[in-house]
Amino acid sequence: MNVLPPPEAKAAYVEQMFARIARGYDRVNRVMTFGLDQGWRRKVVEYVAPPVHGRALDVGTGTGDFLIELAAWVREGMVVGVDFTVPMMQAGQPKIADLAQSGRAAFVAGDALQLPFPDNTFDAITTGFVLRNVTDIPAALREMYRVARPGATMACLEVARPRHSLLRWGHRIYFEHVVPWIGALLGGDRRAYTYLPQSARAFPPPDELAAMMREAGWSHAFYRLYGLGAVAIHVGAKKM
């Protein structure tokens, strides 16, 4: 069953899909990644190492998991999560309630292709499992570069395909056949969790994504594989 929408309908499809699964999104993520997604997010934040007094941005923040990790570093600054699916941020509001009340965290509605922030605003930028859902990956990378301050670091957590043939086969079976049933059981939407692995299959491999980052302006771009090669963390810096 192919559920990938045509390119011209992708943005609306993705927004509606995430709105449907918002309430069960965190629970499904924990189960389908065996809880490893939280460790991957911590590693991403270690790579960007936001300053204590700085501003950090999470693009495609969803329910705000990255904001919790970023706020642990930015103890005297502010962390911002931006997403164009408002129900996802509403589902995550209790998670950041204390931080928001103290003025240390906020959700902002916005599109990754047109970030609602001035140039040179943020000291660190994160994004996780988002780029495969945008309609123009290079444009999203350029927007993150635009709002980053000189010297800022950006790190991106995304799916990858294991290089070992046996691991790649097992990963495909799990991701494309088991994950949709997990989504149906825990999130109530098998179609959405069929889209996610199909979108991952069409996503550029790590080497290509690193090249895209360099073309968008990010210097010293590199990546590291985690989860037996099932995910990649890409890191780049904005020149001073």
Residue 98's pLDDT is what? 97
Which letter does DSSP use for residue 27 in this model?
Answer: H
53 by Cβ neighbours in 10 Å (0-12 / 13-18 / 19+) ranks as exposed
From 10-24, 40-54, 92-106, 169-183, the region with the lowest mean pLDDT: 169-183
pTM (two decimals) = 0.93
Mean pLDDT to the nearest integer, 194-207: 84
Q: Is the pLDDT of residue 1 over 90?
A: no
Could you tell me which of 105, 94, 89 has the C-alpha nearest to residue 56? 105
CA 231 from chain centre, in angstroms, equals 12
Q: Is 78 helix (H, G, I), strand (E, B) or coil?
A: strand
Mean pLDDT to the nearest integer, 59-84: 97
What Cα–Cα distance (Å) separates residue 36 from each residue in 23, 30, 39, 185, 211? 20, 7, 5, 20, 27
Could you tell me which of 117, 116, 127, 118 has the C-alpha nearest to residue 154? 127
